[in-house]
Amino acid sequence: MDEYEKIKADSNNFEKAADREVLETGGLESIGIIALQDPLRTSIKASIEEVGRAGIQVIMATGDNIDTAIAISKNAGIITDAQLKASEYSAMTGADFREKVGEIKIIDDPEKPGKTMDSVGNLKAFREVKEHLRVLARSSPQDKFLLSTGLQQCGAVVAMTGDGSNDAPALKKSNVGFAMGITGTDVAKAAADIVLLDDNFTSIVVALKYGRSVYDNVRKFL
């Protein structure tokens, strides 16, 4: 410790990056490396497979680095190596996604004269991307809003998850918004249609089962 303090005093108290370079000279010896991993819930992979059999496509939108996002999505069963090789659009960053499909623009609503609606800048490009997109990395809440808007314009029914206040527009825009009950902010919960009390994806599967059951039963007696 005394040696460190002497080096610090002789190096301008490490005020600048150049002053700290002295710490990496003289032959360093590696003591060890520590890695931390936040493991997936044990039920997530089975839940992803179950919703896949139900005809639902899962897209993971995350702020993580694209390599981290791909690794996690592989473990969760959201994307495969074959899908990654098949298309450059299987895993994209938010910046690349926006560059390809364009920003949100306001257009006249063809079904409601005098009204306007949100639209993807390049819907033709979006249609091409959505067929392959499974992972959206380094994404922002605005990217989630853009994704929801484009999917709905393509005729899809969109369920969106979120926990931050910035996720509120995307949650509101989607057909069904799921907010996290534990980590979610009050703004996100207010904007959502359903609040997950346990923040667990498996609970979405349960909601899907009950929802489809109610829908089927209503159809039976009507």
Token pair 């923040």: residue? 199
pLDDT tens per residue, range 107-116:
898 888 889 9
Which of the 8 DSSP states describes residue 111?
T
Q: What pLDDT shows up at residue 1?
A: 67
Bridge partners (DSSP) of residue 135 are 60, 91
Given a contact cutoff of 8 angstroms between Cβ atoms, the answer to whether 103 and 143 are in contact is no
Task: Indicate the pLDDT class of residue 4, thresholds 50, 70 and 90.
Answer: confident
Residue 27: pLDDT over 80: no
Q: What pLDDT shows up at residue 18?
A: 85
Mean pLDDT of the chain, nearest integer: 92
pTM exceeding the 0.85 threshold for the entire prediction: no
Task: Indicate the pLDDT class of residue 50, thresholds 50, 70 and 90.
Answer: very high
pLDDT tens per residue, range 69-99:
999 999 999 999 999 999 999 999 999 999 9
Share of the chain above pLDDT 90, in %: 75
Looking at the chain, how many residues does it have? 222
Q: What pLDDT shows up at residue 109?
A: 87
**Residue boundaries of the structural domains of the chain:** 1-34, 44-221
How would you classify the pairing of strands 116-120 and 104-108? antiparallel
User: Of the CATH numbers 3.90.1150.10, 3.20.20.140, 3.40.50.1000, 3.50.50.60, which one belongs to the domain with range 44-221?
Assistant: 3.40.50.1000
| Range from 25-34, 102-111, 140-149 carrying the lowest mean pLDDT | 25-34
Sheet holding 176-180, edge to edge: 159-162, 176-180, 194-196
pLDDT tens per residue, range 122-179:
999 999 999 999 999 999 999 999 999 999 999 999 999 999 999 999 999 999 999 9
